[in-house]
Amino acid sequence: MRAPSLADAAHRLEAARDRRGRALPRLWLVSDPVRLPDPAPLLARLGRGGGLIWRPYGLDRSPARAQGRRLRHLTRRAGVVFLVAADARLAAAVDADGLHLPEGLARHAVAAPALAWARRGRRLSVACHGARALARARALGADMAVLSPVFATASHPGAVPLGPLRFAALSRRAGLPVVALGGVTGARARRLPPGTAAGLAAVSGLGT
């Protein structure tokens, strides 16, 4: 019998909604400058209603805009929600669906212009690694938090994973939908207590 994929696990999750009542994707792909610089080939695995968090870190302005516009075209055609990480100007320039704030950026006043743009009908996501960051995400009016690392992951070999129970405890107290990231596979997702994950995210594990 085929092992459950991450997509299988995501489709079994309860549907969650953002602060405006829009359905939140249950399956997310997260780009990475090294491991997944071009997420376009994997968009088909997300399916309609999935989500992409594009992290254009290290790209110069012109190449970033070109790739962003291409991804915007592809995600719109595929029915995939498209969030740009960190850069509100770039997100606005490519007409993204919203913004994903790294945890460090969410701590500082420099995030204010980004928040102003995101609150004008766009979606706002915040990366979190613990309770304080989740409380900050809620205070900022975020639509969702991406909490990591849930399990051991090659991308952060020195990080101590939260584990299913700690993830569940943080999620239940978060006050907003929480997406699980970090070593999440279809098999591992089954270890998350029911009702605690609003979505599942991966950099390169959509097929596992």
pTM of the model: 0.95
pLDDT score, position 4: 79
Name the DSSP class of 4.
P
pLDDT score, position 86: 93
pLDDT score, position 3: 67
- Domains of the chain (ranges; CATH) run 6-202 (3.20.20.70)
Backbone φ/ψ region at 183: left (φ over 0), alpha (ψ -120 to 50), beta: left
**H-assigned helices in the chain:** 6-11, 43-46, 61-78, 88-93, 103-106, 112-118, 131-139, 163-174, 186-189
Mean pLDDT across the stretch 160-168? 97
For 67-76, 103-112, 167-176, which range has the lowest pLDDT when averaged over its residues? 103-112
- Cis bond leading into 149, ω under 30°? yes
Percentage, residues of the chain above pLDDT 90? 83
For residue 200 the two structure tokens come to 């599942």
